[in-house]
Each structure stands twice: as structure tokens, then as C-alpha cells.
Amino acid sequence: MKFNKFFILPIVFLIITIITSILAFSYDAKLENGYFYSSELQKEIVIEGEYFAVFGNLGQESQTISLVDMSDGIHITIKDGFDVILKDYMLVIKEYQHFYDPSIISSINEEPDLQIDNLDGYLFTVNLESLTTYQVNLSETVDNIDEDQIEIVLVNISEELLLTKTIYEIVSYTSLVLFVVSSIVVSTIIYKRRFQ
């Protein structure tokens, strides 16, 4: 059976789909460089700039959060609706094997008892330099009522990388749809030619 020239179009769409999917997945790894999880303890920073904090695992009973920038770190207090302290931590972000430098904190919301469900903006941001290893130490200051430890992720998402990844995903998805449609059309044309 000889190759039909109608199959060129679906094959081109399939190749475009595969290539753009591979490129989109490669950007996932690049974007992951912009995350620094408190559970990692230490990490060499690849993407330089301002990292904002995202808090997780605060607990269902948690109603308010307070942050205080201190000379030895950030004091974090989480309370329930009755003003009972559920979790109390000291967070230290510093260069590996160096002392804590408060100037690493570029901004912090120190307003007392912020409502967790009504947060507007970031609780704090830090400036991290590329090719520098940083460490995170999150320690309980008292025995917490809620035993589940909070999770903190420092995030610096490069808009350029995110936009490029999104474009590759859109092209990949669109070319996949065009591959399916063109395959159906080509198959229909070949079927009609053979049986007419």
C-alpha cells in the first residue's frame, strides 16, 4: 500500500504536539527552581530575586496568624477563634553557615492577628541571591497544641518562564486537537475514495 499524501498534515500536527509537549515539560523543571520548601532545609538558589511566602497545613481550627520580625528570625503565632495559641514557631532563613541577617527580609506584614481567610497580599518576602546556598530552620518555640507542623514555601515565579511554558502548552494542545480532526478528515476522505 502506497503512502497517501493526505497523511502529511496529521503527521506534521503530531510532530508539533510531541515537540511542544517536551518543551513545556522542560519548563516545569525550570519553574521548580523558583520554589524553596521549608522541608528542604537548604538549597542553592538558581533564580535570584524576591521570594514571597506561601503557608500551608495551618490547620482547620486556625483563625488568625501573627508575624513579628525579630533579631534572630521571624516569630509566627497561629491562634484559633478563641485566641488560644495553636502553633508557635521561629522561622530563620539565612545563608548556609552564616548568622541570621534581618536585612534578608524585604517586607513583612506585622499586623497582629491577621484573619487567615481574609489575607490580602503576602505575609512576608525575602531577597535571595542566585548561586548562594540558603537554609531554612522552622522550629517550635513552645509545645504546640496542634501537632501538625506548618509548611512554608518561598516562591519566585519568573513571569517569562511561566508565559513561555503556557504558550508551549497551548500550542501542544491546539496541535493535538488539529491532529485528531485532520486524522478523522483524512480517514473519511480515503474511505470515500476507496468505496466510490
> Which tens digits make up the pLDDT trace of 112-142?
999 998 888 899 999 999 999 999 999 888 7
Nearest to 165 by CA among 17, 60, 29, 15: 29
The model's pLDDT over 27-48, given as tens digits with 9 standing for 90+, comes to: 988 888 899 998 888 999 988 9
Phi-psi sector, 57: left (phi>0), alpha (psi -120 to 50), beta = left
Q: Between these two residues, 120 and 153, which has the higher pLDDT value?
A: 153
Give pTM, 2 decimals.
0.76
Q: Which three cell numbers stand for residue 156?
A: 519566585
Instruction: Report how far apart, in Å, the C-alpha atoms of 189 and of each of 12, 18, 135, 176 are.
Output: 18, 25, 63, 20
For residue 65, the cross-strand partners are: 78, 114
Continuous segment of H or E residues that includes residue 35: strand 35-37
